[in-house]
Structure 1
């Protein structure tokens, strides 16, 4: 890959007006543009993100994957396409400044997909609930024995070569998005690595781990996705 690759960032966001500007402000200068997919927020997420310098795409249909797909569609319509796309959440639980180390394996030509692993990094106490930790362990263990894919995390902070992402033909519109990408990348023969990333308590209440419905809904969808591509 060239020494000056074009890197775009996608941030799916739902009701993150208190955190989104912090996330955007700490994204390194190696990035060309930041695309925030406002997933039908009832607060001022879109306005705050736009004021902070991001491109904002409005997606009325709720769903993590749906928001990511809408941001991808927006990027597809740009005259100059990126070389690499980075995904991260808008709740300030990730450390955006770690993006340089996240994309480095791609820039070095060692990988097409890089997962920021919270399991390998340092987690602030209380940043992940027990169901999240157990769910990640269960999902990655199932992937290992059913798919042969070796991951330690389904972390949202990740980087992937744009053309390879398009070739994966992503379709999941909700909680199965991250694991779909990892399984499809493995099956497609993409080179993937994990790098340690740190994780802190998010700003606000999680839409997944913050409710019983969210925990069971995400867990069900993740396991269903594993079996779907088995």
Structure 2
């Protein structure tokens, strides 16, 4: 990898007009493209992200993974492809300024994928619900015993070498996106690690942990994905 790697950022976003400008403003200036996947928002998420300087792509079909895939398609069309792609959420719960530490294992050649682990970092009180904490523990424990994959979190803040990501042939269109990437990376023999990241209360209400339907839907899909790739 060159001394000046090209880094793009993908942010899937649904109704995040209040938080998305804060997220974009705190992304380090070494990033080339900030691609916001407006996932059929009913507010001004797309307009606000565009005004903040992001490249905005629209995806009508709701789903975290579907939004990520649409943003990836936009990147594929660029004349010069990135070396690294970073994913983070648009709700301001992640700390974009920690991106430098997140990508360091890739820059020094020791890893192909890095997961920002909230379990290893500092979490603001109330930033994760009990179902989220338990779900992360259950999923990572199942991956460890069933597949030998050693993770502590399914955190959304992550970095991966672009060519390696393309090689994973990602397909999940909703809640299983993060765990699909981790399982496939492990099975493909990618070098991966985790770095501690901090986590704060999001702006607005979570579409997953903020509803009973979201909690059970995400939990079911995550467990189903683990068994699917077992």
Q: Does 1:89 align with 2:79?
A: no
Correspondence 1:19-38 to 2 at 5 A: 19-38=19-38
1:81-160 alignment to 2 at 5 Å?
81-160=81-160
Structure 1: gaps (5+ residues): none
1:64-116 Cα offsets, whole Å, 9 max, x none, are 00000000000000000000000000000000000000000000000000000
Distance in 1, matches of 2:134 and 2:147, equals: 19
Summarize deviations over 1:102-153 as a string: whole Å, max 9, x none.
0000000000000000000000000000000000000000000001000000
SS in 1 for 2:206: coil
Distance 2:177 2:44 in 1: 25
Q: Give the match for residue 194 of structure 1.
A: 194
SS at 1:194 equivalent:
strand
In the alignment, the residues of structure 2 paired with residue 97 and residue 76 of structure 1 have an alpha-carbon distance, to the nearest angstrom, of 26
Q: Which runs of 5+ in 2 are unaligned?
A: none
CA RMSD of aligned residues (A): 0.3
Q: Distance in 2 between matches of 1:166 and 1:57?
A: 19
C-alpha displacement of 1:11: 0.1
State whether structure 2 residue 17 is matched by structure 1 residue 17: yes
Show structure 1 runs of 4+ deviating over 2 A: none
TM-score by length of 1: 1.00
The aligned runs of 1:152-191 (5 Å cut-off) are 152-191=152-191
Q: Secondary structure at the match of 1:57?
A: strand
Whole-Å separation in 1 of the counterparts to 2:26 and 2:209: 25
Q: 1:2 offset after TM fit, Å?
A: 1.2
> Aligned with 1:213: secondary structure?
helix
Separation in structure 2 between the aligned mates of residue 198 and residue 30 of structure 1, nearest angstrom: 21
After TM superposition, the structure 1 = structure 2 runs for residues 36-47 of structure 1, keeping only pairs within 5 Å, are 36-47=36-47
SS of alignment partner, residue 227 of structure 1: helix
Once residues 30 and 221 of structure 1 are traced to their aligned partners in structure 2, the CA distance between those partners, rounded to angstroms, is 35
- TM-fit CA distance, 1:200: 0.1
- TM-score normalised by the chain length of structure 2: 1.00
Q: Helix, strand or coil: the match of 1:85?
A: strand
